[in-house]
């Protein structure tokens, strides 16, 4: 007979681990291939899981095995505000994948603060000083954001390569230089969340969804940055649906407007030769929009929205094209034959960001943490550290 684990494990911790991971009894029972009633019996203390079953629960919930032996529930972090604009009476579920990513971000922030303390250094301060509220002029705020990030038109329009990844990388680096972590979440559906932000200071964090396109992620980056300027982080899908009087919808509309104004300033857009040649014609071909999209690093939809704000197209045309864009976004780019995914070192840096990776490797070099800590914090095997170091040397802050 397998040895029982419940003599030491706390049933209350079994409930806590399952609920904070976003699973119900049916989900867990399916993964363990046991009856649902068995999960409930464990949590009530009526039955005892074996050590092996407890280890499998640890893997499912992404919690350390030792967590089940704590005397009581750990203190809960404040919930992340939800800006995903459905009617306020409807509670949107959060998938286990999303809950795990939120926990990862909070852990990275906590680790970063501990590492700065171990290095006897102060973490960087939030480096954008703008007095912003939802009643500010979003066009003006967008231009202030560009200036604060040091983004100039002549530089921006050079970032037209690599399907939008070059633009995303440069804007991301500009945000990170202002004392903001930019992480990326993997395995979360785009239709659940485009991005989210944690407003805690120092070291607020923005999280982008890797399942989104690079141009979509860039817009989300600026949208979430605006939320941080408003001092209100949260989960976003960038939708403007919902009650017209909803405070959350007003916030999303404002953040979308600021993001568009920062990414595609109207005074530059209206001076583009293509835009001047079109005159008052409200019809825009895909080729026209793709050309402008490539130039600014913005999605075609974001460009068309800016043209709508500039009264260079109509609401009807915008809404019709938007439906086409949504269908296009729903079809992921097919992987070419023989195409391989990015190497683990690049995935680690894309996920954790260079500032966090640099802090981890500095702490390791000064013997504040171990090699196994580095592998844990960056989610990568030690054999890939040399490539990460080389990348960080190439991209010095």
3-state secondary structure of 29: helix
pLDDT category at 20 given cuts 50, 70, 90 is very high
Question: How far apart (Å, rounded) are the C-alpha atoms in residues 77 and 99?
Answer: 12
Q: Tell me the three-class secondary structure of 43-100, residue by residue.
A: HHCCCCCEHHHHHHHHHHHCCCHHHHHCCCCCCCCCCCCECCCCCCCCCCCCCHHHHH
195-198 and 181-185 as β-strands: parallel, antiparallel, unpaired?
unpaired
Among 27-41, 162-176, 204-218, 229-243, where is mean pLDDT lowest?
229-243
**Beta partners for residue 209, in sequence order:** 185
pLDDT tens for 54-108 read 999 999 999 999 899 898 898 888 888 988 765 444 556 799 999 999 999 999 9
The reported pLDDT for the residue numbered 238 is: 82
pLDDT tens for 229-264 read 999 999 998 877 656 557 888 899 999 999 999 999
Continuous segment of H or E residues that includes residue 352? helix 344-352
3-state secondary structure of 135: coil
Q: What integer best gives the mean pLDDT of the chain?
A: 90
Domain covering 11-65, topology: 434 Repressor (Amino-terminal Domain) (1.10.260)
pTM > 0.75: yes
Question: Phi/psi at 235 (nearest 5 deg)?
Answer: -90, 135
Which regions of the chain carry the CATH code 1.10.260.40? Answer: 11-65
> What is the percent of the chain with per-residue pLDDT over 90, rounded to a whole number?
75
Question: How far apart (Å, rounded) are the C-alpha atoms in residues 40 and 23?
Answer: 13
Mean pLDDT calculated for residue range 156-184 = 94
């Amino acid at each position: 007979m397998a040895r029982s684990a419940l003599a030491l494990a706390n049933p209350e911790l079994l409930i806590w681990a399952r609920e904070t991971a976003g699973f119900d009894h049916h989900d867990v029972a399916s993964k363990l291939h046991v009856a649902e009633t068995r999960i409930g019996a464990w949590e009530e203390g009526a039955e005892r899981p074996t050590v092996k079953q407890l280890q499998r629960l640890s893997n499912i919930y992404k919690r350390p095995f030792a967590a089940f032996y704590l005397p009581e529930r750990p203190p809960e972090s404040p919930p992340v505000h939800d800006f995903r604009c459905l009617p306020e009476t409807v509670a949107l579920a959060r998938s286990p994948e999303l809950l795990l990513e939120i926990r990862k971000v909070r852990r990275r922030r906590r680790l970063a603060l501990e590492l700065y303390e171990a290095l006897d250094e102060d973490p960087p301060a939030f480096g954008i000083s703008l007095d912003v509220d939802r009643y500010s002029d979003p066009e003006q705020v967008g231009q202030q954001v560009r200036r604060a990030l040091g983004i100039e038109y002549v530089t921006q329009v050079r970032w037209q390569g690599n399907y939008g990844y070059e633009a995303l990388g440069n804007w991301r680096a500009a945000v990170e230089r202002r004392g903001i972590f930019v992480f990326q979440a993997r395995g979360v559906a785009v239709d659940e969340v485009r991005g989210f932000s944690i407003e805690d200071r120092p070291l607020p964090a923005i999280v982008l969804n890797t399942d989104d396109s690079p141009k979509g992620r860039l817009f989300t980056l600026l949208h979430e940055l605006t939320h941080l300027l408003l001092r209100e982080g949260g989960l976003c899908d960038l939708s403007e649906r919902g009650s017209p009087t909803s405070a959350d919808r007003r916030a999303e509309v404002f953040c979308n407007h600021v993001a568009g104004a920062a990414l595609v300033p109207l005074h530059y857009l209206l001076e583009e030769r293509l835009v001047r040649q079109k005159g008052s014609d409200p019809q825009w071909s895909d080729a026209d929009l793709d050309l402008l999209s490539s130039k600014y690093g913005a999605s075609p939809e974001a460009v068309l929205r800016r043209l709508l704000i500039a009264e260079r197209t109509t609401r009807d045309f915008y809404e019709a094209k938007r439906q086409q864009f949504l269908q296009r976004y729903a079809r992921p780019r097919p992987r070419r034959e023989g195409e391989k995914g990015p190497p683990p070192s690049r995935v680690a840096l894309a996920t954790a960001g260079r500032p966090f990776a640099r802090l981890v490797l500095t702490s390791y070099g000064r013997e504040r943490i171990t090699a196994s800590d580095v592998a844990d914090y960056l989610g990568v095997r030690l054999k890939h550290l040399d490539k990460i170091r080389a990348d960080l040397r190439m991209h010095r802050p």
